[in-house]
Amino acid sequence: MPHEDLTHEAVHRRTGAVPRQASARDTTRTQAPGAEEAAGGRPPTTAGQPPAAGGRTGPGIVKPLPPELFVVHDTNAEMRWEAMRDVGFHVPNERFFVRNHTSTPIIDATAWRLRLHGTGLRNPRSFDYGELLALPAVTRDVAIECAGNGRSFFTTQQHQEVSGTPWRLGGIGVARWRGVPLATVLDLAGLTPDAVDVMARGLDPGYVSGGVDLGPVRRPIPVAKALQDVILAYEMNGRPLPPDHGHPVRLVVPSWIGLASIKWVGDIEVSASPLFSPWNTELYRMFGAAHPPQGGAPLTVRGVRSAFELPWNATLAAGRAHVLHGRSWSGHGRITAVEVSVDGGVTWRRAQLRGPHVVPAWARWHVTWSPQETGPRTLLARAVDETGATQPQRTPHNEFGYLFDAVVHHPVTVVNP
Ligand SMILES: Nc1nc2c(c(=O)[nH]1)N[C@H]1C(S)=C(S)[C@@H](COP(=O)(O)O)O[C@H]1N2
Ligand SMILES: [Mo]
């Protein structure tokens, strides 16, 4: 990409007006320098199954996806919220949602290298797995949530057309991540004062969209965020990262959209000029009538959301007390209050918050409900966080259906016991 283009785009990006098509075209040819090297000289194999007789392929996910725990959407697997009932604060690795642009690569940690390079480093260098594990580690409870979580409600609640995976609310999970602060490895690689962007690249197969290979999943984050709280994680809930969640090493970017938490990291580019990829120009930005004509700024912090730990269309017996459990979360700050309505939003009552609420994770709550009459009901939950951010009745439309934060209408049926 010629330098003038970069400068030009930098100006646009800072004003939230990255030209959509031009930038996508400019970046599609970008190769991941050293991606093969980073994989230890061998291209990783992937979990994508060979096409079956009917030409159908598997989702490219390694772990079992039992239908009582997951809803599979193409290459992705959504967690069923009822699977969190009677489960603790963390989502077990076997139940954690999977969002893959392509398929899970199988990477040999002993041959793996993490290569740091770019104009923002004085001392570009590599780390192998053992070197990374030997560095001082941190452990944090952090949610990873897809920017598209809740997307299906644009259609079902707001009767609007959007494109992308039709998640309900199961595109989120909280795990206890252990790894090395990204700041530590950037420091060891001689981060320069004029570095502005840090872009990790995945070792999964390139993402093909509309017949164009967009290359490996990658998306820059500003140096300030990279130094603040980002982790190069190698453990998830006390176990080595499972293949589907980024083995051997992934980024964990607290409070930001899940895309920023790049899995299967092979190299990290640190640049003294702004970096671009299709994932911060063409994708993961707001487009549509409610947004700037050139598109909104690349998405970062997630909004407020709430979910019941109940099946969709759950049945509940009349004349009994039911404890309705749920969780709420926000990328902006601590959840301070949750209200629940069992009559479609006519009346609301306070839910009881319980247990810890670590800011980049979620808060658990419950209310008791004794329905008397049988028939269909709509349950609603809405949360407020410490910044005053709450859940609106409607989310302004955007073409890709990102960041649906409106109150979700959860259907249940009250039946005779
Ligand atoms: N290399 C790579 N990293 C990736 C992705 C991907 O497809 N490839 N998907 C991203 C998206 S969109 C999300 S929401 C999260 C999902 O993380 P999980 O699959 O561990 O739940 O990973 C992110 N990191
Ligand atoms: Mo995502």
- The residue range of the domain holding 162 is 3-281
CATH number at residue 362: 2.60.40.650
- Tell which of 281, 315, 338 closes a domain: 281
| Secondary structure percentages of the chain, helix, strand, coil, to 5 | 15, 30, 55
- Same structural domain for residues 65 and 160? yes
Domain's final residue, options 281, 312, 338: 281
Q: What are phi and psi of 132, to 5 degrees?
A: -65, -45
Q: Does residue 63 sit within a domain?
A: yes
Q: How far apart are CA 349 and CA 121, in angstroms?
A: 54
What is the tens place of the pLDDT at every residue in 209-244?
999 999 999 999 999 999 999 999 999 999 999 999
Name residue 175's amino acid: A
Considering the domain architecture, whether residues 245 and 324 belong to the same structural domain is answered as no
Q: Which ligand is nearest to the CA of 75?
A: 1
**Per-residue confidence (pLDDT) for residue 1, from 0 to 100:** 31
Per-residue model confidence (pLDDT) at position 239:
98
Q: Tell me how far CA of residue 218 lies from CA of 28, 207, 214, in angstroms.
A: 11, 10, 10
Ligand 1 mutation target, pool 72, 75, 96, 100, most atoms within 8 A of CB: 100
Q: Is residue 289 part of a domain?
A: no
So what's the pLDDT on residue 47?
65
Q: What's the structural domain count of the chain? A: 2
pLDDT value of residue 44: 59
Q: Is residue 249 part of a domain?
A: yes
Ligand 1 contacts (CB < 6 A) are 96-101, 144, 146, 202, 204, 217, 245, 258-259, 261-264
Separation of alpha carbons 403 and 396, rounded Å: 10
Residue-level length of the chain: 417
- How far apart, in whole angstroms, are the C-alpha atoms of residue 42 and residue 327? 42
Closest atom of ligand 1 to CA, residue 251: 24
270 and 338 fall within a common domain: no
**Cα separation of 143 and 131, whole Å?**
27
Quote the pLDDT of residue 46: 66
In a domain, 173, yes or no: yes
33 and 116 belong to one structural domain? yes
Tell whether 177 and 225 lie within a shared domain.
Answer: yes
Atom of ligand 1 nearest to the CA of 265: 1
Statement to judge: residues 224 and 342 lie in one domain: no
Q: Whose CA is nearest to atom 18 of ligand 1?
A: 98
The reply to whether 34 and 101 lie within a common domain is yes
Strand arrangement, sheet containing 125-128: 125-128, 113-117, 265-271, 197-202, 218-222
**pTM of structure:** 0.89
Closest ligand 1 atom number to CA of residue 99: 19
pLDDT < 70 regions, the chain: 1-58
Cα(193) to ligand 2 centroid in Å equals: 31
Q: Return all residues near 333 (Cβ < 8 A) that are at least 6 apart.
A: 359, 385, 386, 387, 389
One domain for residues 26 and 103: yes
Which atom of ligand 1 has the smallest separation from the CA of 98? 19
Q: What three-state secondary structure class fits 258?
A: helix
Q: Is 25 inside any structural domain? A: yes
Give, using CA atoms, the residue closest to atom 23 of ligand 1: 259
- Closest Cα to atom 2 of ligand 1: 263
161 CA from centroid of ligand 2 (Å): 19
Judgement on whether residues 171 and 254 belong to the same structural domain of the protein: yes
- Dihedral of the alpha carbons of 77, 78, 81, 83, in degrees to the nearest 10: 0
| 3-state secondary structure at position 232 | strand
Which residue in the block uniquely carries the two structure tokens 């966080």? Answer: 385
Question: Is residue 211 situated within a structural domain?
Answer: yes
Task: Choose the final residue of a domain: 281, 316, 336.
Answer: 281
Beta strands 314-317; 410-415: pairing state: parallel
| Mutate-to-test residue for ligand 1 from 70, 244, 261, highest number of ligand atoms within 8 A of CB | 261
Ligand 1 atom closest to residue 146's alpha carbon, by position in its atom list: 14
Q: Are both 63 and 155 inside the same structural domain?
A: yes
Q: Are residues 147 and 212 in the same domain?
A: yes
The token duo for 199 is 């872009």
Query: Is residue 193 domain-resident?
Result: yes
Residues 25 and 57 reside in one and the same domain: yes
Asked if residue 337 belongs to a domain, the reply is yes
How far apart CA 263 and CA 146 sit, in angstroms, is 13
CATH number for position 72: 3.90.420.10
- Residue from 358, 294, 333 nearest 17 by CA: 294
